[in-house]
Each structure stands twice: as structure tokens, then as C-alpha cells.
Amino acid sequence: MANQHPAESKKNRDKAIAEGKKRYLSATPCKKCGTYEKYVSTYGCCKCVVESGLKKLADKELMAPYRTKEKQSNKTYRYRQKKFSGVENLTKEENERILSIYKECGKITMETGVLHHVDHIVPISKGGKHHPDNLQILTAFDNIAKSNKLCA
């Protein structure tokens, strides 16, 4: 890769842009870490940009304006409002099924030693409801990896 001509690097970047990719392989390594993978938009080394961003996120003083209690409570409030809108329409049996799903999740976690979550199959952010038919038990790893994507 180090013997690659700079014109080849430009071709790689142009090809990545044409394909709608965010990254490409450069002809020159990063001076700081030595990797060749760079971002199309900034020509910045992917590894160094991520490390720099993580350092900024870890800086409590720098991030303080963005992490106010008011912002956090608004975010939590909106999520809970979406999650529990329509819950009053559930029957007693549906509420009991929801509780049993959460209890089963805790039981599986205790038995296996692997953290499990109760997940919404259709995410609340995508219009899903907090209803027993829309709940499933996943490992925490799978649930976090899924994020707010629809489950197949």
C-alpha cells in the first residue's frame, strides 16, 4: 500500500465518493498512527478522528453545556411519554403479560449470567407501542447493536 501513487489515492477517494462511501484508502499513511483509511469529507485519518472525538466526549468541562440536567430530563421525558402513551388502553391481562416478560428477562439473566434486555420489536421511535406483542427478550449486546432498527 505504501508504494501506491498519489493519483491512485485520488482515484480511490473519487470512487468512494461515487459509491456513496464515507471512507477510502489513501496512498499516504497518517503521520500520527500510520493507518491508511481516511474520511472522504475531511481527508482525516479515521482512527485519529474517532480518538479525538472520544477525548472530547470524555472532557466533562468541554461537554458540560451539552449535558445539562434539563436536557437529559427533557430527553427522558419525551421517551417515556412516547413509551407509555396508549398504555392506559391495555387490558389487565396485557399488563400482566408485560410484567411476566420483564420477570422472565430477569430470570434468564440470573440463570445464564449474561445480561438480557426487554426489547421493542418495532422501536418506540419508529411508532411501535409498549405492548406485549411488541416485546422480545434479547441479550444486552444484541439489543444495543440493534439500536432502533426494526427486528426481522
What is the value of pTM for the model shown? 0.47
Tell me: the pLDDT tens digits for 101-116?
Answer: 999 999 999 999 999 9
pLDDT value at residue 1:
45
Region at 61 (left for phi over 0; alpha for psi -120 to 50; beta for the rest): alpha
Average pLDDT value for residue range 46-63: 88
Residue (of 48, 8, 41, 45) closest to 22 by Cα position: 41
And the C-alpha cell for 76? 427522558
Mean pLDDT for all residues in the chain: 84
